[in-house]
Chains A and B, each alone.
Chain A
Amino acid sequence: MSILEVRGLKKSFGKTNVLKGVDFSMEEGEVLSVIGSSGSGKTTMLRCINFLETADSGKIFLDGELLLDAADQKKISAAEMRKKQLNFGLVFQDFNLFPQYSVLENVTLAPRLLAREKPDFKTHRHELYEEIDKNAKAIIDSVGLTDKLNCYPCMLSGGQKQRVSIARALALKPRVLFFDEPTSALDPELTGEILKVIRSLAAEKITMIIVTHEIDFAESVSDKILFMADGVAIEQGTPEEVIRNPKNDRVRAFLQKLQDN
């Protein structure tokens, strides 16, 4: 059964139809890369699935069950939306770390706030926080930032910031982790460290959707590739199918242009 399925996702801003009905699905533990030219709606799609935008229509299924029908989104309470939200994690292009918090605090803030809602919070506050800190430190260690635990974001390089933001998203154990061009705000020599982290997450079978312009990386790390053009997923399949043997002329033209550069 698919862990995530998106059907007929549509979104327009005023008169511009940005998403014209996107369909795809993916299995647990898979990595799906989304490629396509600038303005094709990749970011908008990620934002809709993460509820940062309200889609005009479309359905999102999680584990085969309807998670959200976009038509209902406005009617659903904020508390309900938050619960749905927690199935997903999103790593932003420009990190969006919380500047006033240390690396560790960035990672523990949301889990600590969530712990407050547990029924045993009043009696077991200390244990809950300790557990959260322990988990956060393990995750921070896995992205190689143990020595920066108490640093503030302004003291970190771009690559380190992005690794913190990945750790921050992982700490909530999302079912699906989304990345929106996680390396495009970085200097070329720093992209490697992020791609390495993502690769290790793939090895741990973390389900991920990655919007990227790094075609070689997408090809090597992904189980599936989805090609977006003009708000539609015009081609999807294995990297072999989409990148090596594209059926659609626009995909071919896009890949050709990348090669020429």
Chain B
Amino acid sequence: MQFIESIRHLVGTIIEQFPIVFPALNEGFLQTLKLFVITLVGALPLGLIISFGSMAKFKPISLITRVLVWIVRGSPLMLQLMIIYYLPGLVGRNIWGGGEQGRFIAACIAFILNYACYFSEIYRGGIQGVPVGQQEAGQVLGMTKKQVFFKVTLLQMVKRIVPPMSNEIITLVKDTSLARIIALQEVIWAGSAFMKSSHGIQGQIWPLFFTGVYYLAFCGILTLLFGYIERKLSYFE
């Protein structure tokens, strides 16, 4: 009986506080979304450039890019965030300032760099996965290099890239919560603020738990979207 009473009490609290908590979480989630979108916009092209670097015939370039990829993929994103945010201040050049904007830019840089390295490996796999025979067949049919790329290999690369890329992008959604370590006010930060005090509410943990709903909904939408793209590309193998 006491259990039912507690549930009733909790539901009552949630209903009462929801109009205050919801906008605050939305604001945090907006920041999460911004970080997500900017990371994609930066890391998708940068990853392609890095993948070209790692495949370069000129050895020093491919070596340097591969070492970079190894460092970035071989260490925790959380650590990279802290290094990028705190290191400039440590050497006497606090380029980020103290505000939310500086933290946001630092987070974007760390995320873009980190994800570009992961993406570069995915691109590399996709590009190298297309058999050379495809390019040779195009060449003996008198196609230009450009035509071979755009008309023959590109779509085959995309097909190979989409599944691992969708995994990585869904991981990114959840990884954005790591930015909290440098106090970026994303959705988990906004949720956990209610544990102390925020918007006149004190000592409530349910808003933090509720942030999970945002991630689930967003990842669900992305899963549907990528599933759709994969289905669109499933007519050939």
Q: Is the CB of B152 within 8 A of A88?
A: no
Residues 68-87 of B contacting A (Cβ, < 8 Å): none
Residue of A nearest to B159 (CB): A100
Indicate with 1 or 0, residue by residue over B140-161, a CB within 8 angstroms of chain A CB atoms: 1111110100011001100100
Q: Which of A20-28, A108-116, A220-228 contacts B (4 or more CB under 8 A)?
A: A108-116
Indicate with 1 or 0, residue by residue over A60-86, a CB within 8 angstroms of chain B CB atoms: 000000000000000000110010011
Size category of the binding interface on chain A: 20 to 34
Q: Is the CB of B139 within 8 A of A85?
A: yes
Q: Is the CB of B140 within 8 A of A90?
A: yes
Residue of B nearest to A109 (CB): B151
Determine whether A153 belongs to the interface, using a CB cutoff of 8 Å to chain B.
yes
Question: How near does chain A come to B237, taking the closest CB pair, in angstroms?
Answer: 5
Residue of B nearest to A86 (CB): B142
Residue pairs across A and B with CB atoms within 8 Å: the count is: 64
Q: Is the CB of B133 within 8 A of A99?
A: no
Q: Is the interface of B mostly helix, strand, loop or mixed?
A: helix
Question: How near does chain B come to A157, taking the closest CB pair, in angstroms?
Answer: 15
In angstroms, Cα B156 to Cα A154, docked, is 14
24 contacts between A and B (CB under 8 A): A51-B140, A78-B144, A79-B144, A82-B142, A82-B144, A89-B140, A92-B133, A96-B133, A96-B134, A97-B137, A99-B237, A109-B141, A109-B151, A110-B138, A110-B141, A110-B142, A113-B142, A113-B143, A113-B147, A114-B142, A152-B236, A153-B236, A165-B137, A169-B140
In the complex with contacts A92-B133, A152-B236, A154-B236, A100-B141 CB distance below 8 A: no
Determine the chain A residues whose CB is within 8 A of the CB of B139 once the complex forms.
51-52, 85
Q: CB within 8 A of A96: which of B137, B142, B144, B145?
A: B137
Determine whether B235 belongs to the interface, using a CB cutoff of 8 Å to chain A.
yes
In the complex with contacts A98-B152, A100-B155, A110-B143 CB distance below 8 A: yes
Determine whether A168 belongs to the interface, using a CB cutoff of 8 Å to chain B.
yes
In the complex with contacts A82-B142, A154-B237, A52-B137 CB distance below 8 A: no
Determine whether A172 belongs to the interface, using a CB cutoff of 8 Å to chain B.
yes
Residues 120-176 of B contacting A (Cβ, < 8 Å): 131, 133-134, 136-145, 147, 151-152, 155-156, 159
Determine whether A56 belongs to the interface, using a CB cutoff of 8 Å to chain B.
no
**Residues of B in contact with A (beta carbons under 8 Å apart):** 131, 133-134, 136-145, 147, 151-152, 155-156, 159, 235-237
Question: How near does chain B come to A179, taking the closest CB pair, in angstroms?
Answer: 12
Q: Is the CB of A52 within 8 A of B136?
A: yes
Determine the chain A residues whose CB is within 8 A of the CB of B152 once the complex forms.
98
Q: Is the CB of A99 within 8 A of B236?
A: yes
Determine whether A94 belongs to the interface, using a CB cutoff of 8 Å to chain B.
yes
Determine the chain A residues whose CB is within 8 A of the CB of B136 once the complex forms.
52, 92, 96
In angstroms, Cα B140 to Cα A159, docked, is 21
Q: Is the CB of B133 within 8 A of A85?
A: no
Determine the chain A residues whose CB is within 8 A of the CB of B142 once the complex forms.
82, 85-86, 110, 113-114, 172
In angstroms, Cα B155 to Cα A109, docked, is 15
In angstroms, Cα B141 to Cα A98, docked, is 12
In angstroms, Cα B143 to Cα A114, docked, is 8
Determine whether A212 belongs to the interface, using a CB cutoff of 8 Å to chain B.
no
Determine the chain B residues whose CB is within 8 A of the CB of A79 once the complex forms.
144
Residue of B nearest to A81 (CB): B139
Residue of A nearest to B154 (CB): A100
Determine whether A50 belongs to the interface, using a CB cutoff of 8 Å to chain B.
yes
